Amino acid sequence: FQSHKIDIRTNGGKVIGLGTLYGNTDICATEKGSVNIEKLQGTSINISTEDGLLKTKYLYAESSSLSSVAGDILLGSIHGNTSLQTKTGSITVDSSDGSLKASTHHGTIDVYVSQLRKVDLQSQKGSITVKVPASLKAYLQLSGRKVDVSSDIQLKETQSASKDDHVTISGHMNQRNETDRWIKADTQNGKVYLKSQSWIQSVKLKS
């Protein structure tokens, strides 16, 4: 169904959408209320939960902000400028195209970056896994207790620094002058993993 402004609030209840929600969407689920929507499309999308899961398969928006206190955020394919935040939950993104800012305090972050402008991933205590196609052009800066770069990824002009049990590795992938396309991953106490994965693999894992 089509709508220009969707506003949904629930106290502890579930919000389930099996089809597509079109329009500027504002959804707030408190307590254990969860949000599970097949497809979201609009200019601006805001969704928040407290303890409940926040899940959507397709997200197409100029700007979206999804947040939870203790719930996990599970996203399929996302496009546009996206901000994700959870305190104790984990964040998983099957495929991100655009600018992404994701932060969690205790949880892990697992993201496949298919195309990018700016990707900023932050965790205090959890690990961060960044998966990229081998052909991606980007500048990367990865910091954590340990930084593990898969052997099939060639980072050029690599710089490495360590300070107080914290390692930072930076370098360029497949280019040297793309200063506006970057991935930053920073965790205080966790590890950072950089792996290569083809788009086909990312689709296969989902099915």
Alpha carbon 98 to chain centroid, angstroms:
11
Q: What is the pLDDT of residues 58-111, one digit of tens each?
A: 999 999 999 999 999 999 999 999 999 999 999 999 999 999 999 999 999 999
Contacts for 44 with CB less than 8 Å, ≥ 6 apart: 24, 25, 61, 62, 63, 64
pLDDT > 70: percent of the chain: 94
With 80 as the cut, is the pLDDT of residue 1 above it?
no
| CA atoms of 102 and 172, how far apart (whole Å) | 21
Q: What is the pLDDT of residue 177?
A: 75
Handedness of CA 103, 106, 107, 108 (dihedral sign): positive
- The number of CA neighbours under 13 Å toward the Cβ of 86 is 27
Mean pLDDT of 143-151: 95
pLDDT for 199: 66
Q: Which two tokens stand for residue 108?
A: 């892990």
pLDDT (0 to 100) of residue 203: 62
Summary mean pLDDT of the chain: 92
Q: What is the pTM of this model?
A: 0.92
Give kind and range of the element (H or E) at residue 168.
Answer: strand 166-173
List of residues 6+ apart from 32 with CB closer than 8 A? 12, 50, 51, 52
* pLDDT for res 98: 93
**Can you give the pLDDT at residue 6?**
86
Domain range summary for the chain, segments of one domain joined by +:
2-133+190-206
